[in-house]
Amino acid sequence: MEKRLLEELLPICMYVQANYRPGLYMSVRWIDGPQTYDAEIEQRGGHVSENNYPAKAYAEVTSAVHPNEYLSRELLDTAGFAFGLDGLRRLKDGSIESVPVSHTNGDFVAKFADLVLDQVAKKEAKRYPQDTTLIVQCTLNLPYMPDEWADLVVRIRERLPPSQFREIYLYDPVGRYSHTIFPKSKAADGARPV
C-alpha cells in the first residue's frame, strides 16, 4: 500500500490541490484495479458550466525517474552519501560505486526531458478515456533552480507530439515545482472536445 500511496495517491492529491479553486470544485475517487486510469474526477462549478473543464474526467499517474535512483537511495541508506545519479553503478561484488560527474549548462535538464517524454510515450501507447489527465511525478536527477525547471518544461513542450491526454501535469515533489501542459489533440482537426 505504501508504494501506491507514494506513486499514485500523492500525485493525484498534488494535481487536485493545484487545480481546485472557486469555480472548479472536484471530487476524486481513486480506483484500484486493471482499468486504464487511476482515478475518476467529478468536476462542477463555473468553469465546468462555461465548458472550460469537463464534468467527468480521469487521471492516470506515471513517474519519470532516473534509472539509478534506486542505487542512490540504497547508497544513502547504507553509506550515508552518494554523488549524482549519473555517477552510480553496481559493482560485481554487489557494492555501489559513486563517482562525481560534472554537467555543462543544461545537459542534465535535456537528459531528464528525455526521461519524461519516454514515460509519456509509453502511456500514449495505451488507450485512455476522453478527458484523461496524465500526471507525471518527476523525481528530478538533481536539485533544480526555478529557471532549470522552466527550461525542462519548455524542452518537453517543444518535443511533445499530439496527445490523447487533455492535459499533462508535471510536478516535482521535492522542489514543489509544477506545470500543466495542454498538448495538441490527436483528433484530426486538432480540437479538444469538452
Copy the grid coordinates of residue 22.
Answer: 472557486
Is 162 among the domain residues? yes
Is 190 among the domain residues? no
| 165 shares a domain with 119 | yes
| 169 shares a domain with 115 | yes
| 117 shares a domain with 27 | yes
Over range 94-117, report the average pLDDT.
Answer: 92
| 127 shares a domain with 73 | no
| 168 shares a domain with 148 | yes
Q: Which of 169, 20, 134, 36 is nearest to 28 (CA)?
A: 20
Is 117 among the domain residues? yes
Is 77 among the domain residues? yes
**Cell 518535443 belongs to which residue?**
159
| 144 shares a domain with 75 | no
CB atoms closer than 10 angstroms to residue 26: 18
Over range 101-107, report the average pLDDT.
Answer: 87
How confident is residue 107, by pLDDT bands cut at 50, 70 and 90? very high
Is 36 among the domain residues? yes
Domain total of the chain: 2
Is 167 among the domain residues? yes
Burial 156-190 (b: 16+ CB within 10 A, else e): beeebeebbbbbbbbbbeeeebbbebebebeeeee
Is 193 among the domain residues? no
Is 189 among the domain residues? no
Q: Of 98, 118, 148, which residue constitutes the final position of a domain?
A: 98
For 19-77, write each residue's pLDDT tens digit: 999 999 999 999 887 888 999 999 999 999 999 999 999 999 999 999 988 899 899 89
| 140 shares a domain with 62 | yes
For 109-167, write each residue's pLDDT tens digit: 999 999 999 999 999 999 999 999 999 999 988 889 999 999 999 999 999 999 999 99
Domain limits for position 20: 2-66+106-181
Phi, psi (5° rounding) for residue 90? -85, 130
Q: Give residue 141's pLDDT.
A: 86
Q: Give residue 12's pLDDT.
A: 94
Among the residue ranges 39-43, 86-90, 166-170, the one predicted with the least confidence is 86-90
Q: Of 51, 82, 98, which residue constitutes the final position of a domain?
A: 98
CB atoms closer than 10 angstroms to residue 38: 23
| 11 shares a domain with 82 | no
| 142 shares a domain with 122 | yes
| 77 shares a domain with 92 | yes
| 158 shares a domain with 111 | yes
**Which residues are within 8 A (CB) of 37 and not within 5 positions of it... i.e. 6 or more apart?**
31, 58, 59, 60, 128, 129, 132
